[in-house]
Amino acid sequence: MTGLACRFGRHDHLIGVLSTPESHDDTALRPGVILLNAGLVHRIGPFRMTVELARLLAGRGYAAIRFDLSTIGDSGGTADAGSREDQVLADVQDAMAVLQQHAGCSHFVLMGLCSGAQNAHHVASIDPRVVGAVFMDGYAYRTRGFYLRHYLPRLLHPGRVARAAWRRLRRIGRRDDVDLPGFAVEWPSRQQVISELTGMAQQGRKLCFIFSGGALGYFNHPRQFGECFGSLAADPNVQVRTFPEADHTFILAGDRARLREAIADWMQQSF
């Protein structure tokens, strides 16, 4: 694996690190991987998960770039007109150009956690060079099944209800109840997401959905994918994996190792 730190982009405003396999023999034939920021964490990712993932993928023969989107981490802003979504699309296309220039890649797989998954979804729904995506704790919608699985066990165990109520009471006034700086992004409608995902799958894009225990507030069983997205669940281009023990940012090294292996295996099966 080799590493190249680069400054790039249409305004030379983006900072990233490209990891490439030692042998370039068939790297150009494989898709290049683009790893997106998770929230405001810079390009190394929460607990350095993006560094670990990029290096594993490079070791398996895939060129991978992890970089900071405009105004995040070390990347600068631009005076470009347009929405944040337009900016994200242009930034990712700049990263594609780097992968093309240095590794010869002409098609790409996007990977992202949380807001990174939302950005991956947006770009994958527009750019035809995207052949696959890994969405970690990305879009999903609560269903009747979700509510049943969430509330029924609690109703059947009054002790649990009492303990949950007690925990909630204890948390009142604690510092974690203080609003921290942050912005909530409104999710698109389920119908829009279904339509976009269906389009991606019909165009042959391979899609991997990963849900951690941190997503249990809106996704609590693999079956929910079908409840939520219908026939997409049976599409051979779609795979769903859950890591219910792990937290949202995979703080434990063992959880991260299992996540990395799952993604690398999916890459090898898919491309």
Residues that bind other proteins (CB under 8 A): 3-7, 11-13, 15, 17, 40-44, 46-48, 51, 71, 73-79, 167, 174-176, 180-181, 213-214, 216, 244-247, 249, 251-254
CB of 142 to other proteins, least distance (A): 17
Query: HEC profile for 227-240?
Result: HHHHHHHHCCCEEE
CB of 235 to other proteins, least distance (A): 29
* 5 or 185: CB nearest other proteins: 5
- Closest by CA to 47, choosing from 260, 238, 213, is 260
- Residue 140: count other Cβ atoms within 10 Å of its Cβ: 23
Residues 6 or more apart whose CB falls under 8 angstroms from that of 242 comprise: 210, 211, 212, 219, 221, 222
Amino acid at 77: G
Q: What does the alpha-carbon distance between residue 128 and residue 107 come to, in Å, rounded to a whole number?
A: 8
**Three-class SS state of 214:** helix
CB of 236 to other proteins, least distance (A): 30
* 152 or 251: CB nearest other proteins: 251
CB of 148 to other proteins, least distance (A): 18
